[in-house]
Amino acid sequence: MTGLDYLWQALTPLNVLLALAGVVAGTVIGSLPGLTATMAVAVLVPITFSMEPASALILMGAIYTGAIYGGAYAAILLNTPGTPSAIATTFDGYPMAKRGDGDLAITLACVSSVVGGLIGAAFLLGLAPPLAEVALAFGPVEYFWLAVFGLTLISALSEGNLLKGLIGACFGLLLACIGVAEISADIRFTFGSQVLLGGIETVSALIGLYCIPVMIDLVATPDRHLKVTQQPRGFRLKEALAISWLGKFNLIRSSVIGTLVGILPGAGGSIAGLVAYSEARRSSKRSAFFGKGEPEGVQATESANNATVGGGFIPTLVLGIPGTPPDAVILGALLIQGVRTGPSLFTENGAIVYTFIYGLILATVLMLPAGLVIGRYAYKSIITVPKAILVPTVAFMTMIGTYAIRNSISDVVIMIVLGVVGWFLNRFGFSPSPIVLGLILGRIAEQGFVQAWTIGAATEDLTGMFFGRPISLVIILFTLISLFYPLIRKHWATTGGTANAG
Amino acid sequence: MDILRKIGATTVVAAMSLAAIAMISGVPTAQAFPDKPVNYIIPFGPGGESDITARHQQSFFKEKFGQDLVIAYKPGGGGAVGWSQLNGMIGDGYTMMGINLPHIVVKPLQKDVGFKTEDITGVYMFHYTPDAIVVNASSDIKSLQDLVDYAKANPGKLTMSGSGKGTANHLAQVRFDKMAGVKTTYVAFKGTGKAVAALLGDQVKAEWGYTSVGAKHEGKVRMLAVAMEQRHPKFPDVPTFKELGFDLVSGAYRGIAVPKSTPEDVRVKLSEMIGEINADPEFRKRMENDGMALLDVGYKDLNAFVAEQAKAYEEAAREAGVIK
């Protein structure tokens, strides 16, 4: 291991305190829908001016890590992904909570996040410079195919309801077109209204489409929000650890996927979580239970999205190209501190980089106790608060959270409208995930396509651009497998093959 | 109770965000100004260059005037969402917003975006990031002449990444192509970071970037020329376009504006304050180290300055098809 001597510098009392405070603050912020890791880190920037660069980095990294984990609470307990990277957590987390296993789901999310965070950080520690090259190998056309691949996951995620899934995705793609166009800067589909000028903000769409229908249903039905068992069961840590041990390959695979996708600037946690989820489902013996409260599903997304933290720091620190939006803020703070990123950062400024990486590992480890305790509070308060208080409180939070993203009232209005639309669509069997995927991936696909087409047309090699690059071909292959996988499986099932073998 | 704590936390955040929009307070007297934190709204997301330069100002503001400069973000529509709301904010000097050229000129010409260039009350333009042509350090294009030669021999085949349609570097590309009599292909990315990644990954042949790209990625990229009057102090070996016979001095200009209702004396006062930060040698050093170039256009001269720049921008934007 490199730079081991810096481990002790990371363990000064101040840094340990910062890591703990950061994780706690991050977890709380991340648990509130709308308050994102990016925002949390940005608010902190002025405080870090007066700190040592390494300590400042540790604090920001710890908040970031905590916020990604904290996003699991709302996903599990309220069916609301606080960040795009927690979308797939809702698939199994919320059903688990509904049947009374919310505490287990949260503990499991905590353990998985710690594992994912540690694996991501290990890659950052050991292999950052070579892995950064991956970020550069991904050109526009690779992003385009990656987004198309992500869109095909819809087919895998909406088995039996493929048509509705695709219709939902198309709706999402249309939503993605609203506002100032990604590349051409044209203004589209605003119908002359300035409300729509800024486009549909992803997180506010998430809050609207996922959370508002849950709120409406809560008001409309007399049932309790989540099923509650009588006796308190502690953290259920033993149970969670046992499940994690059984699912260790799932955890490792998901973390590696999370790290690799995290390295790609512009891909983001949503793709990481989804790819990890669908891979977990494909290879699981229990794939039939996915989407109905299968712990493996929570493990996959939560380990993958925390692994993107370490992965995202790889291009940020090695190339000076931020891997994720919070990384962009951290990079800016470093610049102001006078720290130059680049390959030389690892050799000349080893003290900063390695102290930071060990600090990040420390923060991740501290997330286990901190996350368990905060998670338990979150769970207890959600299940014990009467509905008459819970619904208005959550409704209030969704509005404040949506407003806070861009300081925009328009976003709040859009969020509520989408929420009501989402509720009606739910009644007709459309789930929010394909819509949101269309919204997120549509933008990535559009950017990649237009750029690849521009370059391909200029060099007079469009075919080679889209179908002649090795990485693209691999992604296309995955896309085809993912698209036809339900058919293949059906074929196996009818021909008497092993239906669940992956 | 946790839920109460959550409410508490959200309320604080809400109050902070609302405060950015509606500071309820009387007009301050000149000598006491500022007697409370000043809100500085960036109409873009955090982490971009507009944010970073504001952050550079932040610590000097606190040091010189004893009050915090509170940075908030209001992204959307390439800045238009923020600017269209600026005049609706309280004009007491405690709310100001970052402005960018060519954005405030080009956006309103594209479509009705809720504001006109002349609606914006700028108090100071404090710096610009000069446009520059950058190639990968391993590229066989060694000089601007090499680049022009290649573009002449292969019309349209020279791909150049940039940070987006209608941005400073896109308009510079249009103007340069015309001056040099070449045709290059501009590949728009979303932000400078992604445009640089495309360059470093050899997805494109060159980049229309900024001097800050050269500063941030020293050793991995080669700057061929910078669009400045004189060479940048950090890059004494990189020629200006002017030296090489192209009359191109341009970049992404940044400044600060206030709501229209802000009283005249407060506008002047704010302008002086920003100027004071700009004059600080340590501030200048930090900005120049990041590859920025400082600029001092105060309140009185600002309109004339914007008008002058606007002409060139509008022409290039029309040519580029950004304005129809």
A38, A335, A450: residue with CB nearest B46: A38
Digits of tens for pLDDT over chain A (502 positions)? 456 778 888 889 999 999 999 999 999 998 888 788 888 888 888 888 788 888 998 999 999 999 999 989 999 999 988 778 888 999 999 999 998 899 999 999 999 999 999 999 999 999 888 888 888 899 999 999 999 998 888 777 776 678 888 899 999 999 999 988 877 777 888 887 778 888 898 888 999 999 999 899 888 888 777 777 656 677 788 888 999 999 999 999 999 999 999 998 877 778 899 899 988 988 888 888 888 899 999 999 999 999 999 999 999 998 888 888 889 888 888 888 778 777 677 777 778 888 899 999 999 999 999 999 999 999 888 888 888 888 998 899 889 989 988 888 889 999 999 999 999 999 998 889 899 989 999 999 999 999 999 999 999 999 999 999 999 999 999 889 888 877 777 787 777 544 444 3
Domain for residue B241, yes or no? no
Domain for residue B41, yes or no? yes
B10, B194, B198: residue with CB nearest A397: B10
Q: Which residues make Cβ contacts (< 8 Å) with residue A97, sequence separation at least 6?
A: A76, A77, A105, A226
Please answer yes or no on whether B73 and A406 come within 8 Å at the CB atom.
yes
The Cα–Cα gap between A54 and A356 comes to 5
Q: Which residues make Cβ contacts (< 8 Å) with residue B6, sequence separation at least 6?
A: A28, A31, A32, A393, A397
Q: What is the pLDDT of residues B182-206, one digit of tens each?
A: 999 999 998 888 899 999 999 999 9
Q: What is the ipTM of this complex?
A: 0.86
Axis-axis angle for helices B103-110, B299-319 (nearest 10): 50
B14, B186, B197: residue with CB nearest A135: B197
B140 and B83 inside one domain: no
Interface membership of B67 toward A (CB under 8 Å): no
B53 and B38 inside one domain: yes
Please answer yes or no on whether A407 and B290 come within 8 Å at the CB atom.
no
CATH code of the domain in which B163 resides: 3.40.190.10
The Cα–Cα gap between B94 and A278 comes to 50
Last residue of a domain, one of B184, B209, B226: B226
B40 and B82 inside one domain: yes
Nearest chain B residue to A330 by CA distance is B47
User: Regarding predicted confidence, which is higher, B6 or B87?
Assistant: B87
CB B9 within 8 A of CB A393: no
Domain for residue B243, yes or no? no
CA A221 to chain centre: 31
**Chain A partners of B46 at a C-beta cutoff of 8 Å?**
38-39, 41-42, 325, 328-329, 332
**Chain B partners of A460 at a C-beta cutoff of 8 Å?**
157
Domain for residue B192, yes or no? yes
What integer pLDDT is reported at residue B22 of this predicted model? 44
The Cα–Cα gap between A341 and B217 comes to 8
**Chain B partners of A179 at a C-beta cutoff of 8 Å?**
76-77
Give the CA distances from residue B64 to residues A32, B67, B297, B316, in Å, rounded to whole numbers and listed in that order.
36, 8, 20, 40
B186 and B291 inside one domain: no
Domain for residue B244, yes or no? no
Please answer yes or no on whether B194 and A396 come within 8 Å at the CB atom.
no
B134 and B123 inside one domain: no
Please answer yes or no on whether A183 and B188 come within 8 Å at the CB atom.
yes
Closest-CA distance, B300 to chain A, in angstroms, reads 30
Amino acid at the residue B191:
G
> In sequence order, what DSSP letters do the residues of A116-150 get, joined into one string?
HHHHHHHHHHHHHHHHHHHHHH--HHHHHHHHHHH
Q: Is B222 helix (H, G, I), strand (E, B) or coil?
A: strand
Amino acid at the residue B116:
K
B12 and B117 inside one domain: yes
Do strands B38-42 and B95-101 pair parallel, antiparallel, or not at all (unpaired)?
parallel
Per the structure, the complete domain to which residue B298 belongs is given by 2-128+252-319
Q: How confident is the model at residue B282 (pLDDT cuts 50, 70, 90)?
A: very high
The Cα–Cα gap between A399 and A409 comes to 9
Interface membership of B138 toward A (CB under 8 Å): no
DSSP state, residue B261: T
Do strands B69-73 and B38-42 pair parallel, antiparallel, or not at all (unpaired)?
parallel
Nearest chain A residue to B285 by CA distance is A338
Count of domains observed in chain B = 2
B273 and B162 inside one domain: no
Domain for residue B235, yes or no? no
CATH code of the domain in which B72 resides: 3.40.190.150
Nearest chain A residue to B76 by CA distance is A198
Q: What's chain B's average pLDDT?
A: 89
What integer pLDDT is reported at residue B13 of this predicted model? 53
B80 and B153 inside one domain: no
Among A80-84, B69-73, B125-129, B193-197, which is the least confidently predicted range?
A: A80-84
Please answer yes or no on whether B68 and A46 come within 8 Å at the CB atom.
yes
Domain coordinates of chain A in residue numbers? 6-224+234-494
Please answer yes or no on whether B77 and A342 come within 8 Å at the CB atom.
no
CB A108 within 8 A of CB A298: yes
What integer pLDDT is reported at residue A81 of this predicted model? 85
The Cα–Cα gap between A70 and A85 comes to 11
Please answer yes or no on whether A320 and B216 come within 8 Å at the CB atom.
yes
Domain for residue B212, yes or no? yes
Please answer yes or no on whether A329 and B51 come within 8 Å at the CB atom.
yes
The Cα–Cα gap between A236 and A224 comes to 22
Give me the percent of chain B exceeding a pLDDT of 90: 76
Closest of A319, A324, A320, A299 to residue A309, by C-alpha: A324
Q: Is A214 helix (H, G, I), strand (E, B) or coil?
A: helix
Q: What is the pLDDT of residues B225-258, one digit of tens each?
A: 999 999 999 999 999 999 999 999 999 999 999 9
Nearest chain B residue to A443 by CA distance is B190
**Chain A partners of B216 at a C-beta cutoff of 8 Å?**
320, 335, 340-341
A45, A183, A380: residue with CB nearest B165: A183
The Cα–Cα gap between B247 and B235 comes to 19
What integer pLDDT is reported at residue A232 of this predicted model? 63
B118 and B12 inside one domain: yes
Query: Does the structure show a pLDDT above 90 at B76?
Result: no
Q: Is B282 helix (H, G, I), strand (E, B) or coil?
A: helix
What integer pLDDT is reported at residue B240 of this predicted model? 97
Closest-CA distance, A276 to chain B, in angstroms, reads 25
Interface membership of B27 toward A (CB under 8 Å): no
B158 and B259 inside one domain: no
Give the CA distances from residue A264 to residues A268, A320, A321, B183, in Å, rounded to whole numbers and listed in that order.
7, 13, 10, 31
B193 and B218 inside one domain: yes
What integer pLDDT is reported at residue A229 of this predicted model? 64
B140 and B215 inside one domain: yes
At residue A73, what are phi and psi to the nearest 5 degrees?
-60, -55
Closest-CA distance, B49 to chain A, in angstroms, reads 8
What integer pLDDT is reported at residue B56 of this predicted model? 93
CA A279 to chain centre: 16
A42, A183, A458: residue with CB nearest B157: A458
Please answer yes or no on whether B76 and A408 come within 8 Å at the CB atom.
yes
**Chain B partners of A73 at a C-beta cutoff of 8 Å?**
none
